[in-house]
Amino acid sequence: MDIRFSGVSKIFYPDITALEDVYLEIPKGEFVYLVGPTGSGKTTLLRCITREVAPTRGQITVGSFSLRKISRVDLSIFRRDIGIIFQDFCLLPHLNVFENVAFVLEVLGAPPREVKERTGEILDQVNLWRRRFLYPPQLSGGEQQRVAVARAIVNAPSVLLADEPTGNLDLHTAEEIMQLIISINALGTTVIMATHNQYLVDAYRQRVIGIRSGRVVRDEKRGRYNLDGEL
Amino acid sequence: MGSFKYTFRDAARLIVRHWGLSLLTILTSMAVFYLIGASVLLVLNARHIVGVLEGELSIQAYLATEISADILLPRVRALPHVTKADLVTKDEALKRLRDRVLDSRIPDIVTLLDDNPLPPSFEVWVDRADNVESVANDLRAISGVSEVVYAVEVAQKLAKFSSFAGKFSLAILIVAITASAVVLFNTIRIAVYSKEEEIGIMLMVGATPTFVAMPFVIQGIILGGLGSLGASVFLALSYNAITESIKELLPFLPFLERGVVVMQLGVILVGAGGTVSLIASLVAVETFTKRAMKPL
C-alpha cells in the first residue's frame, strides 16, 4: 500500500505543534527510517497512519483508504493490513507467547486450524516455538520484542510500523530484531521504523526521513543517521 | 467459527477472572428480579382478587310494586356497565330470608311473619367496582325503583386498592429495572476497564467494535440471565409459602394458582433479565470502544 501525506499538520491543544506541513510519499514495499530527536514528531507521524491521531490540517491516504473521514468499520478493516511494533512491546501478560500471537488471528475471525498453523509458522520464524508456553514476564527483553514482531506480522500486513523496536535492547538483540524486520520487508511489506539507533541506520542503509519540530528536514534515498552533525 | 469460540471463551474468562464481582452481580440482579417478580405477582393477584370480588358485588334496587318489574327489567339490563340483572320476587326474597335466618341461631323470627312484607327487587351486577356508583345513580333515576342499596365502601375500596396496586407495582418495576440495569452496566464497565489494554490492542489489530463487544455482552447476558433465573426459582418456592400463610389468616381471598402463573412469570423474568443485560452491556462497551477509536 502506498502512503501519502499531503500538507499534514497536527496541533495538540492548546498550541503544541507535533507535525507541520508534512508532505511524504512512501511507495509500496519501501523501507523507511524516521529519525529525529525525542519529541520531534516521529511517533505522532506513525500514529497518524494508524489513525490514533487525526491531523488538524491536510490529508493522509494509505492505499485506497482516505483517513480524513473513515467509518469505524472501515477503520477496523484498514487496520487489519497494518502491523505495529511498540517500543514497550505491549504484550498481554496473562496470555502466553502462543496466545499473544494467536490472539490477532482469533480477533480477525480466522478458523482455529489456521490460527494454530499460522501461529506455529511465525513462532518458528522468530525462534520462539520452544518458548510458546511461557508468559511475557518469563521472557527476556529481546524475546518479548520478538513476540511483538511475530504478533505484528502474523496476519501478513502490507505495512509494518515499528516505533523504536530496538529501544530497550542490547546491540546484539537489536541486530536480531533488525534482521527479522529486513526479512519481512524483503517479502514486500512496507516498513516505517522510528529509531534513535544510529548504528542500525548506518549499518542497514535505507531511505531516511529526518524530522525536527514536526517538520521533515531531510529525506534521503540511502541515508545515514547523522550527517555532519545534522539529523 | 473461530470468532464464536473466541467470544464464548473470553466471556467465560471474564466471568471467572472477576468471580467475586460476577457473584455479586448475580446476587444483586437476583434480588432485583425477585422484587420485580414479586411486584408483578402482587398486581396479578390484586387484580384477580378484585375481579373475583367485583363479580360478587351486586346492587339491590327495590321496587315499589311487582307489577312494573317485567317492563323495567330490560331497561335495567340495557344500562351501561351492567353485566347481569335478575328479578327477585317478593316470594323469592322471603325464601332467601328464611334460608338465611334458618341458618342462624334465631330461626323462629320468620315464623312470626304472617304476611310477606318484603318488596320485590332487581339484583344487578356491574363490570367493575368503580362503576357501581354510576349504575346505582342510573337505577335511582328509573321510576318505579324506590330504593337502591349497595356496599358503597366496599366498592370504593376495591376500586382504590386495584388502582393503588397497579401504580405501586409500576413504580417498583421502574425502580427495580433501573437498578438492575445500573448494576449490570457497572459490572460490565469494570470488566471493560480491566481489559482496557487488551481492547486497545484488539482495536489496533483490526477487531471490529462488535467483535470487541461480544464477550462482554455474553458476560452480561449470562450474569443477568442467571440472576433472573435464580429469582424465578426463589419466587416459585416462596409464592406458595406466602399465599398459604395469608390464606390461613384470610381464607376468603382467592389467589392465583402457583403453577401456571409462576412458570409464565419465570419465562418473562429470564427474558427481561437477558434483555436488560444485553442493553446495559452494549451501552457500557459501546461507550468505551467509541472513545477508544476516536482519534486524538
In a domain, A203, yes or no: yes
Q: In percent, how much of chain A has pLDDT > 90? A: 23
Chain B residues with at least one Cβ partner in A under 8 Å: 1-3, 5-6, 197-198, 201-209, 211, 289-290, 293, 295-296
What residue type is A24 in one-letter code? Answer: L
Chain A residues with beta carbon closer than 8 angstroms to that of B203: 76, 79
Domain limit, last residue, from B120, B150, B180: B150
Chain A residues with beta carbon closer than 8 angstroms to that of B3: 106, 109
A11-31 pLDDT, tens digit per residue, is 988 888 888 888 999 999 899
Q: Does A75 touch chain B (CB under 8 A)?
A: yes
Confidence of residue A227 (pLDDT cuts 50, 70, 90): low
Distance from CA of B17 to the nearest CA of A (A): 11
A84 membership: H or E segment, kind and range:
strand A82-85
Q: Which residue has the higher pLDDT, A161 or B201?
A: A161
Whether pLDDT at A10 is above 70: yes
Pair B32, B103 in one domain: no
Pair B168, B284 in one domain: yes
In a domain, A220, yes or no: yes
Is residue A102 within 8 A of residue A147, CB to CB? The reply is no
**Residue carrying C-alpha cell 534482521:** A179
Pair B66, B38 in one domain: no
The Cα–Cα gap between B102 and B70 comes to 30
Interface with B, mutate which of A104, A106, A147 (most B CBs under 10 A): A106
Whether pLDDT at B104 is above 60: no
- Tell me which residue range forms the domain holding A216: 1-81+159-166+189-231
Q: Does A171 touch chain B (CB under 8 A)?
A: no
**Residue carrying C-alpha cell 517538520:** A215
**pTM for this predicted structure:** 0.66
Chain B residues with beta carbon closer than 8 angstroms to that of A78: 206
Winning range, highest mean pLDDT, from A28-32, B114-118, B149-153 = A28-32
Q: What is the mean pLDDT of chain B?
A: 79
Residue B270, classed as helix, strand or coil, is helix
Write the ipTM.
Answer: 0.79
Domains: count for chain B: 2
Pair B271, B176 in one domain: yes
Domain limit, last residue, from B85, B117, B150: B150
Pair B140, B89 in one domain: yes
Q: Does A112 touch chain B (CB under 8 A)?
A: yes
In a domain, A37, yes or no: yes
- Tell me which residue range forms the domain holding B99: 58-150
- Find, in chain A, the residue whose alpha carbon is nearest to that of B9: A106
B204 closest CA partner among A122, A64, A75:
A75
Pair B234, B168 in one domain: yes
Q: What CATH number does the domain containing A201 carry?
A: 3.40.50.300
In a domain, B257, yes or no: yes
B77-101 pLDDT, tens digit per residue, is 888 888 888 888 888 888 877 776 6
Q: For position B106, what pLDDT does the model report?
A: 53
Is residue A174 within 8 A of residue A202, CB to CB? The reply is no
Q: Cβ B209–A112 below 8 Å, yes or no?
A: no
Pair B75, B194 in one domain: no
Alpha carbon distances (Å) from B236 to A19, B34, B119, B231, B265: 66, 10, 51, 9, 9
Is residue A161 within 8 A of residue A192, CB to CB? The reply is yes
Listed as own residue / partner, the contacts of B135-140 with beta carbons closer than 8 Å and 24 or more positions apart are B135/B59, B135/B79, B135/B80, B135/B81, B135/B82, B136/B59, B138/B79, B138/B80, B139/B59, B139/B61, B139/B76, B139/B79
In a domain, B156, yes or no: no
Q: What CATH number does the domain containing B67 carry?
A: 3.30.70.3040
